[in-house]
Amino acid sequence: MIKKLLSIALVTATLTGNAQQLTNSGFETWAGSPSTPTGWGTIDKAIANSPLGSFIGATSFVTKSSSPHAGSFAMMLSTSSAGTFGTFPAAAVYGDLELVGTTPAFTGTPYTLSPSSVSYYAKGTVIAGDSAPSILFLTKWNTTTNKRDTIAGGVDYLNSSLTSTYTLRTFPIYYQIYGVTPDTINYIISSSVVTSSPALGTSITVDDITISGNVAGITKNASTQANAVAYPNPATSQITIATTSDKAKFVNVYDLTGRLMSKIDMTNKQANIDLNSFNSGMYIYTIVDANNAVLTTSKFNVSK
């Protein structure tokens, strides 16, 4: 199914000094056909450069907006129709993205800072029941296990309260492993996340992303941060997600276009998730309390 093929992972970062700004974080420069913000990959570009482009044709999920928060341009992401293939969320990643056959291919960029928060400006329309995620991960290759460890992660969701006036959004980066320097940064923005299909009409405009702060050397506050583990990882047909937090109520699992794949009650601080409907790839999970406050964010891989 085409929609399943558009799961997105990736991010590449070039940060400058303590400012920790992403290159072209204000979306001032665009190039190529389809037009893409410099330093970013989009669904439009991935489709155009893959065999899927001949079936879907030209798309306009991610476009240059002349209504910025500052400067001359911003980035607009619109959940749109792809004709007979259905409705898809827009997605942009910091770095590059391509589809090799039916598999997204991505890489990361060296990054060794420990920021504490992300801020950005957003405006637009999010259809009721839908939401638009902005997701950051910091990871490090583990030479003992030969896989990536998630050092930290954070996520923010725009919902139907979003207006046509720019609003400053800020979300914390939650650290799961302290005292370890990350080596890669991942950043993903999507226009929709719902359980069944994206909401046609959701359209957001984002601008001026800033990554800031430094948590290096601090210790974990167990009252606000929760350890979590997903096993086996990678998984094939089922995965168990467990946490140390007594406040854990639900675990939400998203694909990397931001689509909610599963929402499961946690019992005795763990949840078992059936993966039979999941394609191979990377998935994000958030553990939340009864008030939907995020306790921790991490990821796992499905390999079939």
Secondary structure of residue 63 in the 3-state scheme = strand
User: Cα separation of 94 and 185, whole Å?
Assistant: 9
pLDDT score recorded for residue 125? 97
pLDDT exceeds cutoff 50 at 3: no
- pLDDT digit string (tens) for 264-296? 999 988 999 999 888 877 788 888 888 877 888
* C-beta neighbour count of 31 within 10 angstroms: 9
Q: What are phi and psi of 39, to 5 degrees?
A: 90, 0
Number of Cβ within 10 Å of residue 290's Cβ equals: 9
Check whether 36 has a pLDDT greater than 90: yes
Comparing 124 with 231, the larger pLDDT belongs to 124
CA dihedral (113, 225, 210, 260) in degrees, to 10, reads 120
